[in-house]
Amino acid sequence: MVTPLRVFVVDDEPLARNRLRELLDDCAEALPLSLVGEAGNGLEALDKLSLTPADVVLVDIRMPQMDGIELAQHLNKFPQPPIIVFTTAYDVYAIQAFELHAVDYLLKPIRQARLLDTLNRVRLRAPLGGEVLQQLQPESRKYLAIHERGKILLIPIEEVLYLRAELKYVTVRTIQREYLTEESLTALEQEFASRFVRIHRNCLVAKAKIEGFERAMAGPGGEAHWTVKLKGLNETLPISRRQQSIVREFG
């Protein structure tokens, strides 16, 4: 007996989800599958999928707040990323990109035969590479997804003051509090190069949040060095000797 394919549906339109539910029902006769859940937006999808994993996620591209491609980027960072199949009614650019990178997609209205065909095929596929998703959407993500006690928190990237690597994790600091993420500082630096600047081997700060620079003494008898003060934050962060030039650039 084959284990049924676990399918999850994300679409902001209830009737579109309805349609997919019925089609999946029809497909179940030919292919063992189970609909493990559905969501109306990106956050709900991340939340539910972190609790009940799925093999295949059908993701609508055009959704409010977080579009399908960003959702796929977050899903891809799961320990066991699901296979993503995009759905769209009409999006010339996205479809061109999908064809180019051999990404699976379904055109709405979706035909049952096409859905069945796709589900049969993707079972054997490896999840999309991160680079492919990056190419589908050259813009950086709008949120960081933080896994915390079985929940997923979405932190808008514009609220982040600094990112600091600490042992195994990276600390994400907003005005309210700190979060931990497993993403690497180097990858974050590359993705958000226009937003953050490196002030230290282990620290990136948001350019827009820099309030000023101060001279400080490092320990008793130590040398004076520069620190950066961020808006709304009392602590100051040390700037390493190699990054001193940013004081002139942003000061």
The rounded distance, in Å, linking the Cα atoms of 31 and 104 is 18
Q: How far is the CB of 19 from another protein (least distance, A)?
A: 4
Site for another protein in 5-64 (CB under 8 A): 12-19, 22, 41, 62, 64
Nearer to another protein, 95 or 165 (CB): 95
The rounded distance, in Å, linking the Cα atoms of 210 and 148 is 28
The rounded distance, in Å, linking the Cα atoms of 178 and 75 is 22
Q: How far is the CB of 156 from another protein (least distance, A)?
A: 11
Nearer to another protein, 13 or 183 (CB): 13
**Could you say which of 3, 79, 109, 248 contacts another protein (CB under 8 A)?**
109
**Could you say which of 52, 90, 114, 231 contacts another protein (CB under 8 A)?**
90
222 residue type, one letter: G
Q: What is the DSSP string of 130-194?
A: HHHHHHH--SPPSEEEEEETTEEEEEEGGG--EEEEETTEEEEE-SS-EEEE-S-HHHHHHHTTT
Nearer to another protein, 20 or 199 (CB): 20
Q: Does 107 bind another protein (CB under 8 A)?
A: yes
Q: Reduce the DSSP state of residue 44 to 3 states and report it.
A: helix
Q: How far is the CB of 193 from another protein (least distance, A)?
A: 17
Q: Evaluate whether 174 touches 190 at the Cβ level (below 8 Å).
A: no
**What secondary structure letter does DSSP report for 89?**
S
Nearer to another protein, 14 or 232 (CB): 14
Nearer to another protein, 40 or 238 (CB): 40
**Could you say which of 28, 31, 95, 110 contacts another protein (CB under 8 A)?**
110
Q: Do the strands 56-60 and 5-10 form a parallel or antiparallel pair, or are they unpaired?
A: parallel
Nearer to another protein, 55 or 67 (CB): 67
CA angle 112, 115, 125 (to 5 degrees): 160
**What is the binding site for another protein (CB under 8 A)?**
12-19, 22, 41, 62, 64-65, 89-91, 107-110
